C-alpha cells in the first residue's frame, strides 16, 4: 500500500518511516563528512527533515530534525553547543514543514512553492543558527546577527568559504525538490 498524505498511517508505520528517514539523513551526512570533511555543500539532515515533515507530519518532522543532527554529530565525533542549537532549530523547522506541506487539505505540493518555502526555511535556519552560536560565544545580539548574515556570503567569525550559505541552501533545495518530484511521480504524494 502506498502512503498518501490524506490517509493517516498506523502508528507503527509512522514510527518505522520516521526511523528510516533519520537513518538515511544520518548515513548520508556521515558519508559526506567522510568523503569531503567539514566542507558544507548540502545539508542532508535538512533535506530529510523537510521531506519527512511533509510526508509524515509535524511530529515526525520534529523528531527527524532533532535526531538526525544529534546522532550524526555524535557519530562524527564533534558534538558541542552547535549540536544543541542545530538539533533544536531543525526540529522546529521539521515541525513547521509538516504544518505547511503535511496538511490533509493540500492536494499538490508545487515545485516552486516547495523550493521557495524550503529556501526561506534554510536561510532562516542558517542565520538563526549562526546568531545563536555567536551569542553563546559572547557576542552581543546585534553583532551576532550581522556576523551571521555576512557569514553566509563572506568568510566571517572563523569561516573560510565565500557564498557557502546560498550555495548550500540552493543545492539542498534542489535535492529536496528532486526527491519530492520522484516521490510524486511514483505515487507517494497526492496528485491533483
Query: For residue 61, is pLDDT > 80?
Result: yes
Residue 1 pLDDT class (50, 70, 90 cuts): very low
pTM: 0.84
Rounded to whole angstroms, the Cα distance separating 35 from 29 reads 10
Rounded to whole angstroms, the Cα distance separating 173 from 178 reads 8
Query: For residue 127, is pLDDT > 50?
Result: yes
SS3 1: coil
Residue 161 pLDDT class (50, 70, 90 cuts): low
Rounded to whole angstroms, the Cα distance separating 154 from 186 reads 40
Q: Provide the residue ranges of all domains of the chain, joining segments of one domain with +.
A: 11-185
The DSSP element (H or E) to which 27 belongs, if any, is helix 11-36
Q: What does pLDDT average to over the chain?
A: 84
Q: What is the CATH number of domain 11-185?
A: 1.10.1760
Amino acid at each position: 500500500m502506498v502512503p498518501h498524505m490524506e490517509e493517516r498511517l498506523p502508528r507503527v508505520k509512522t514510527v518505522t518511516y520516521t526511523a528510516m528517514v533519520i537513518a538515511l539523513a544520518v548515513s548520508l551526512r556521515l558519508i559526506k563528512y567522510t568523503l569531503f570533511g567539514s566542507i558544507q555543500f548540502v545539508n542532508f539532515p535538512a533535506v530529510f527533515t523537510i521531506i519527512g515533515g511533509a510526508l509524515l507530519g509535524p511530529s515526525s518532522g520534529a523528531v527527524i530534525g532533532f535526531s538526525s543532527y544529534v546522532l550524526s554529530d555524535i557519530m562524527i565525533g564533534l558534538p558541542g553547543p552547535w549540536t544543541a542549537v542545530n538539533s533544536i532549530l531543525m526540529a522546529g523547522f521539521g515541525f513547521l514543514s509538516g504544518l505547511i506541506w503535511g496538511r490533509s487539505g493540500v492536494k499538490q505540493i508545487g515545485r516552486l512553492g516547495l523550493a521557495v518555502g524550503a529556501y526561506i526555511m534554510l536561510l532562516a535556519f542558517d542565520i538563526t543558527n549562526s546568531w545563536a552560536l555567536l551569542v553563546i560565544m559572547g557576542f552581543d545580539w546585534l553583532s551576532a546577527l550581522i556576523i551571521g548574515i555576512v557569514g553566509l556570503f563572506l568568510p566571517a567569525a572563523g569561516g573560510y568559504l565565500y557564498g557557502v550559505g546560498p550555495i548550500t541552501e540552493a543545492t539542498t533545495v534542489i535535492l529536496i525538490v528532486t526527491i519530492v518530484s520522484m516521490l510524486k511521480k511514483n505515487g507517494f504524494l497526492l496528485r491533483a
